[in-house]
Amino acid sequence: MAAVEVHELRKSYGDLVVVNGVSFTVEAGEVFALLGPNGAGKTTTVEILEGHRRADSGTVSVLGFDPATHARAFLERIGIVLQDAGFEEDFTVLELVNLQRGLYPRRVPADALIETVGLTGKRKARVRTLSGGQRRRLDLALGLVGDPEMLFLDEPTTGFDPSARHRAWGLVEGLRDTGKTVLLTTHYLDEAEHLADRVAVMVEGRIVAVGTPAELTAGQRSVVISFRLPRGTPAAELPELGSMPVADGAGWTLSTAEPAAVLHALSGWALDRRIEIPALEVRRPSLEDAYLALVGSAAVEREDTAVRPGRA
Ligand SMILES: Nc1ncnc2c1ncn2[C@@H]1O[C@H](COP(=O)(O)OP(=O)(O)OP(=O)(O)O)[C@@H](O)[C@H]1O
């Protein structure tokens, strides 16, 4: 059964069309990530699914409910983890968790929940004394108090240190293992690649791709070649490689559909000069590479449309 069904969803703020005919399905028990650049319409879409905003048109079903009706049975079965939920600063972690638990008929034990999010050492600490990452973990705990069937996670690991991030990932994996459905928005592509069963990429109010991370990366015909140059060898001396290498901090990276030709040119050049090419690597594109290509080609298409006003 599908946990979420969205069909032809539209929403504008005044003249600004923010969600422009979006359709997608999230299966029960799936971790589904909604990705896209700032302002793409992700939060607006998710807020409509949570019942916090009304769509202009289209149909939405979440756990079989129309969220716009705010049915109590619906609200009891979902959990929402917002960025900057805003807490009562003088409550302790335990007090806040207990307060929130009172709102739900089905509850997770407070101490177990606090332990799950790694805040046991802070259970008696006042909220105002928590660090940014600890607050986000408290957000997560509060989203889970009602033992929801479906959890909405809005950029859940922003501001987390790397170990807290991995811990949060483990937590989401644990939720999936218990059959919960998770709708995640994130700007971390590695997070989506690690956690999501399927991802949708949204650009300017439309979904431009949906699939498993493997399907999205398989759609990329190119592979990524990266390398560094030996000290004293300027990039200007590189041979023609078919496409321009781009500086990526540590070295140079390029995407190509003809890796054999690029590697031949690069290694022939290095052998002629009797130099090595440090950190030479050929890899499949990551979800991040696929995402950047999708977002980039959506932008190119828009420019095309703009110069040819006759096109629909
Ligand atoms: N209440 C509002 N009134 C007017 N415009 C709004 C309102 N809320 C959002 N917008 C605009 O709608 C567009 C989409 O915003 P939305 O928050 O849905 O994007 P997003 O994809 O979640 O972005 P981000 O990744 O930055 O969180 C933006 O241009 C934003 O400025």
Q: Is the CB of 43 under 6 A from ligand 1?
A: yes
Q: How far is CA 44 from CA 144, 166, 213, 228, in A?
A: 22, 28, 23, 42
Asked if residues 46 and 83 have their Cβ atoms less than 8 Å apart, the reply is no
Predicted confidence band of residue 71 (pLDDT cuts 50, 70, 90): confident
pLDDT at 298 (0 to 100): 66
Domain ranges of the chain: 2-217, 221-283
In the 8-state DSSP scheme, what is residue 308? -
Q: Is the CB of 38 under 6 A from ligand 1?
A: yes
pLDDT at 277 (0 to 100): 92
How far away, in angstroms, is 36 Cα from ligand 1 center? 12
- Over residues 133-139, the mean pLDDT reads 86
Which residues on neighbouring strands pair with residue 207, listed in sequence order?
202
pLDDT at 299 (0 to 100): 63
Mutation test of ligand 1: which of 9, 13, 52 has the most ligand atoms closer than 8 Å to its C-beta? Answer: 13
**Does 159 score more than 60 pLDDT?**
yes
Q: Is the CB of 13 under 6 A from ligand 1?
A: yes
Q: How far is CA 48 from CA 57, 138, 174, 176, 244, in A?
A: 11, 24, 26, 23, 43
More confident residue, 158 or 200: 200
Q: Which residue, judged by its Cα, is nearest atom 17 of ligand 1?
A: 43
**pTM score, two decimals?**
0.83
**Does 295 score more than 50 pLDDT?**
yes
Assess: ipTM above 0.90: yes
Which atom belonging to ligand 1 lies closest to the Cα atom of 45? Answer: 18
Asked if residues 279 and 251 have their Cβ atoms less than 8 Å apart, the reply is yes
Q: Is the CB of 114 under 6 A from ligand 1?
A: no
pLDDT at 310 (0 to 100): 35
Q: Which of 33-42, 201-210, 228-237 has the lowest mean pLDDT?
A: 228-237
- Over residues 14-26, the mean pLDDT reads 96
pLDDT tens string 77-92:
999 987 766 667 889 9
Predicted confidence band of residue 123 (pLDDT cuts 50, 70, 90): very high
* Separation between Cα atoms, residue 246 and residue 299, nearest integer Å: 20
**φ and ψ at 83, to 5 degrees?**
-80, 140
pLDDT tens string 181-223:
999 999 999 999 999 999 999 999 999 999 999 999 887 778 8
Bridge-based pairing of strands 206-211 and 223-227 is unpaired
**Does 253 score more than 90 pLDDT?**
no
* Separation between Cα atoms, residue 123 and residue 143, nearest integer Å: 16
Q: At what angle do helices 93-101 and 132-144 cross, to 10 degrees?
A: 20
Top-level CATH class of 2-217? alpha beta
**Does 103 score more than 90 pLDDT?**
no
pLDDT at 307 (0 to 100): 45
Which atom belonging to ligand 1 lies closest to the Cα atom of 37? Answer: 25
In the 8-state DSSP scheme, what is residue 132? H
- Over residues 21-39, the mean pLDDT reads 96
Taking the CA of residue 265 as centre, how many other CA atoms within 13 Å lie in the half-sphere pointing to its CB? Answer: 13
* Separation between Cα atoms, residue 178 and residue 49, nearest integer Å: 22
**Does 300 score more than 80 pLDDT?**
no
How far away, in angstroms, is 159 Cα from ligand 1 center? 21
The letter for the amino acid at 130 is L
* Separation between Cα atoms, residue 123 and residue 93, nearest integer Å: 5
Q: Is the CB of 146 under 6 A from ligand 1?
A: no
